[in-house]
């Protein structure tokens, strides 16, 4: 974390200097007040005659010191905030950047709720830690040390009280901090759980309402929140014992100082002003210790959060850029390479999800998809269709075998270059809180409105877009909730088409469309993008029967791969799917 502070070393240096100035001003005040009492009011050196002029003069000096101390305090706060806020800004950006680079399996391991907590609350805790180290630690240390020096300079006998009181307070502080420290990491984990429940319920609000599960989710949130509050109260309860103990010790110490001071005054070795100053210094010392305990609390919590942030920042992405042997030549395009753009090959591919103890999701897949070919993938739910296409853009890496794109192993590509070659539209269409045009432009940021309209036209989206209040400028609600499922899918398809990639993957992304709209979409796509390799995952035979080939997957293996007509003659599995849909749904038309 220090590397983030180093960037703002000047602020981190100036803030403590100004804080030192503020503390010095605070330490001067009791002695000046002692002078006012002893000389200005009691007139001890002037036969008991007070000195109004001295009171006014010293009072003005005290006012000036207060102003200077206040200015120093303000400037210290300004520079400390500049350091801590900029520190937090940098680390938050780096955390988010790291999260964006993580592989799916790593995001799943952390969980969404935990990542949200780390980027928000944990960074706030670390910011507080930086602030306290720059400002609070300097103040408390100087008050503590400076107060002891000033107290002893008044009368060495006051040190007796300090030697008895200070160890009691310090021991209580250390005891409670050690007891509370393990709870801070637990506290952040409980907060992860709360954020996770909130995130799930906000994202799935429609499902919760549809199944009338509001009460159930309230109970689930209540349980998570109760656990958080219980842990928080456990920490606060520990620290609540500490303050009364310190106050009791402080009050006893004040009484002791007054008693010793009375004896010293009678003996002529101390003055009433000294006693007042001693009480003030003693209060500063004790309050410094109490403030130090709060700082250690912040440090403990900040260290727990820093460790959690370090887990993210030090997490090395599982899916990394490949070392491309042709990188220096930037893929010199020979006639041979040019002719096989968009060629996808699966060679003895096997795959299981990381950390899963289950059997292989895919086993010994051998499949070649030629450039410009339309390959459909059909199979039962859980047969491995989506897992197969996820290996092309390296959302996951193969467990065995290899996937090739344009004759080169996908692991050898830089990730950006690989994913620029692939466009994908998912069944669950992810839209963002911006205009329809901006959502489509995710496919190709440099595209003009005409290109956007062309992509929307092919995706059969333009008709409903033009019916929207502001057309392409209509703002989409969060997660696309202002649109129907079919509308969201068509915008997602428009985005994928606009990208102009070599390989276009539709992962059941037309499931919400009626057959006529879907047919028009694929006809327009085949007409305009004959050169693009198209991979279509679907559940309906009617959606894929016009594809060049249809691969039937069963239990993670390719059971058959041929044209619709050939499969009807040779594949029992395909025949069963066809007959069941024809008889039950009546939706297949030759």
Rounded CA gap, 193 and 142, in Å?
40
Average pLDDT, the chain: 84
pLDDT at 571: 87
Q: Cα(31)–Cα(37) distance, rounded to whole angstroms?
A: 10
Structural tokens at position 491? 């915008």
Return the higher-pLDDT residue of 55 and 335.
Answer: 55
The pLDDT, as a whole number, for residue 508 is 86
Place of tokens 């919590």: 301
Return the pLDDT at 80: 92
| Predicted local confidence at residue 328, as pLDDT | 42
Which CATH topology does 337-584 take? Answer: Rossmann fold (3.40.50)
CATH fold of 2-313 reads ABC transporter transmembrane region fold (1.20.1560)
Question: 7 pLDDT exceeds 50?
Answer: yes
The answer to which of 117-126, 182-191, 202-211, 362-371 has the lowest mean pLDDT is: 202-211
pLDDT at 590 over 60: no
Residues of the chain with CATH 1.20.1560.10: 2-313
pLDDT at 331: 43
pLDDT surpassing 80 at residue 522: yes
Rounded to 5 degrees, what are φ and ψ at 94? Answer: -70, -35
Q: What is the DSSP letter of 504?
A: E
> pLDDT band for position 21 (50/70/90)?
very high
User: What average pLDDT does range 226-247 have in this prediction?
Assistant: 82
Q: What is the mean pLDDT of residues 373-379?
A: 91
Q: Residues of the chain with pLDDT > 70: what percent?
A: 95
Higher local confidence (pLDDT), 448 or 207: 448
Q: Torsions phi, psi of 391, nearest 5?
A: -80, -20
Residues 23 and 65 sit within 8 Å (Cβ to Cβ): no
What confidence tens digit (pLDDT) does each residue in 83-140 have? 999 999 999 999 998 888 888 878 878 877 788 888 888 899 899 889 888 888 888 8
pTM comes to 0.73
Q: What is the DSSP letter of 359?
A: P
Q: What is the residue whose two structure tokens read 């606009």?
A: 498
State in Å, rounded, how far the first CA of the chain is from the last one.
65
Task: Give the DSSP H or E segment for 340.
Answer: none
- pLDDT value for 271: 83
Q: Which two tokens stand for residue 170?
A: 């310090």
Q: Decide which of 337 and 486 is more confident.
A: 486
Report the alpha-carbon distance of residue 285 to residue 146 in Å, rounded. Answer: 8
Q: 3-class secondary structure for 127-188?
A: HHHHHHHHHHHHHHHHHHHHHHHHHHHHCCCHHHHHHHHHHHHHHHHHHHHHHHHHHHHHHH
Would you state the structure tokens that stand for residue 548, as one six-digit string?
């060049």
Q: Where in the chain is the domain with CATH 3.40.50.300?
A: 337-584
Does residue 375 have a pLDDT over 80? yes
């Amino acid at each position: 974390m220090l590397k983030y502070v180093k960037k703002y070393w000047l602020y981190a240096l100036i803030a403590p200097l100004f804080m030192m100035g503020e503390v010095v001003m605070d330490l001067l005040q009791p002695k000046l007040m002692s002078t006012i009492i002893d000389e200005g009011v009691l007139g001890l050196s002037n036969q008991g005659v007070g000195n109004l002029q001295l009171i006014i003069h010293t009072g003005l000096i005290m006012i000036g010191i207060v102003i200077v101390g206040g200015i120093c305090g303000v400037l210290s706060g300004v520079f400390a905030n500049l350091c801590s806020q900029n520190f937090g800004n940098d680390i938050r950006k780096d955390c988010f950047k790291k999260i964006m680079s993580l592989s799916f399996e790593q995001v799943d391991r952390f969980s969404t709720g935990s990542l949200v907590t780390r980027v928000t609350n944990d960074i706030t805790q670390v910011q507080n830690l930086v602030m306290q180290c720059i400002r609070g630690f300097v103040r408390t240390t100087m008050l503590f040390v400076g107060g002891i020096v000033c107290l002893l300079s008044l009368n060495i006998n006051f040190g007796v009280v300090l030697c008895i009181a200070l160890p009691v307070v310090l021991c209580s502080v250390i005891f409670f901090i050690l007891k509370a420290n393990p709870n801070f990491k637990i506290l952040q984990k409980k907060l992860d759980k709360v954020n996770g429940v909130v995130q799930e319920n906000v994202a799935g609000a429609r499902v919760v309402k549809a199944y009338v599960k509001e009460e159930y989710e309230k109970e689930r949130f209540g349980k998570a929140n109760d656990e958080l509050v219980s842990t928080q109260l456990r920490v606060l309860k520990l620290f609540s014992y500490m303050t009364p103990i310190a106050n009791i010790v402080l009050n006893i110490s004040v009484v002791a100082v007054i008693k010793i001071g009375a004896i010293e005054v009678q003996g002529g070795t101390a003055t009433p002003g000294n006693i007042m100053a001693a009480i003030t210094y003693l209060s500063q010392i004790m309050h410094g210790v109490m403030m130090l305990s709060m700082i250690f609390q912040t440090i403990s919590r900040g260290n727990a959060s820093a460790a959690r942030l370090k887990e993210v920042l030090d997490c090395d992405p599982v899916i990394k850029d490949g070392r491309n042997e042709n990188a220096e030549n930037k893929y010199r395009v020979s006639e041979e390479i040019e002719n096989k753009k968009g060629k996808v090959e699966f060679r003895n591919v096997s795959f299981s999800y990381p950390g899963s103890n289950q059997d292989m999701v895919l086993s010994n897949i051998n499949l070649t998809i030629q450039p410009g070919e339309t390959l459909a993938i059909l199979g039962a739910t859980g047969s491995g269709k989506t897992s197969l296409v996820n290996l092309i853009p390296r959302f996951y890496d193969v467990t065995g075998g290899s996937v090739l794109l344009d004759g080169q192993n996908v692991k050898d590509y830089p990730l950006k270059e690989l994913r620029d070659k692939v466009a994908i539209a998912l069944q669950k269409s992810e839209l963002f809180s911006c205009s329809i045009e901006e959502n489509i432009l995710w496919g190709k940021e440099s595209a003009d409105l005409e290109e956007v309209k062309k992509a929307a036209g092919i995706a059969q989206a333009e008709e409903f877009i033009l019916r929207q209040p502001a057309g392409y400028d209509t703002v989409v609600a969060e997660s696309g909730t202002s649109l129907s499922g079919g509308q969201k899918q068509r915008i997602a398809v428009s985005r994928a088409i606009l990208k102009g990639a070599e390989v276009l993957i539709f992962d059941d992304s037309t499931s919400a469309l009626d057959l006529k709209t879907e047919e028009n979409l694929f006809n327009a796509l085949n007409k305009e993008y004959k050169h693009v390799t198209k991979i279509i995952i679907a559940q309906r035979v009617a959606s894929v029967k016009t594809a060049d080939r249809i691969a039937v997957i069963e239990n993670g293996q390719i059971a058959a791969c041929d044209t619709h007509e050939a499969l009807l003659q040779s594949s029992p599995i395909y025949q069963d799917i066809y007959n069941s849909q024809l008889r039950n749904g009546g939706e297949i038309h030759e």
